[in-house]
Amino acid sequence: MEKFETFTGIAAPMPLVNIDTDMIIPKQFLKTIKRSGLGVHAFDEMRFDREGNEVPDFVLNKPAYRESSILVAGDNFGCGSSREHAPWALADFGIKVVVSTSFADIFFNNCFKNGMLPIVLPQEQVDLLMSDAEKGENARMTVDLEAQEITTSEGEVIKFDVDPFRKHCLLNGLDDIGLTLEKADAIKSYEERVAQERPWV
């Protein structure tokens, strides 16, 4: 997993509430167990019509937001079924941060495990960021995980909270496998000791 570093990116406004995981990545695209390649299907039923043509009014199809790396979303983002494909699709699409007033628990946890930062803020601060995002490609926000700050295009700084352990994992690019590999020497030492003490196991 890549380290989460301070970055500046375009923020896309998605004020719709209850954006569920089936909206993020429809069920017909869940046949793969690979994390890559799902970005082209992110928000498929909102991005494309039945003939496969882009829906011009959908925010991520608009020229100003095609390179968005931040989503400012409505309440209860990521609700619905517990598919890990949802954060896979967003990450593959290029999204690094999602801001909302609340997230579904499983989606929230899966974001951290896939190198994405979900940020929970009060409604008034989400509204401020939403308004900033509506400025189009000029709405470049800076997200500093180390300092736990979002800086708007106008230079206003908003602080956010994040669990210290999850922050450590993102900053160091550690998913569950990476955390285990950090203990590789201790695991090897244990296995060697057990092999000597209980060779019949």
- pLDDT, tens only, 123-174: 999 999 999 999 988 779 999 999 999 999 999 999 999 999 999 999 999 8
- Domains annotated on the chain, with CATH: 7-197 (3.20.19.10)
Residue 109 has pLDDT above 90, yes or no: yes
Neighbours of 126 (CB within 10 A): 22
Tell me the pLDDT tens digit for each residue of 5-46.
899 999 999 999 999 999 999 988 887 777 778 999 999 999
User: Tokens 């590999």 appear where?
Assistant: 181
| pLDDT above 80: residue 183 | no
> Which tens digit of pLDDT belongs to each residue from 66-103?
999 999 999 999 999 888 899 999 999 999 999 999 99
Whether 97 contacts 120, CB under 8 Å: no
Percent composition of the chain: helix, strand, coil (DSSP 3-state, to 5): 40, 20, 40
As a whole number, the mean pLDDT across the chain is 91
**C-alpha pair distances (Å), 78 with each of 100, 107, 120, 126, 170:** 10, 5, 13, 16, 20
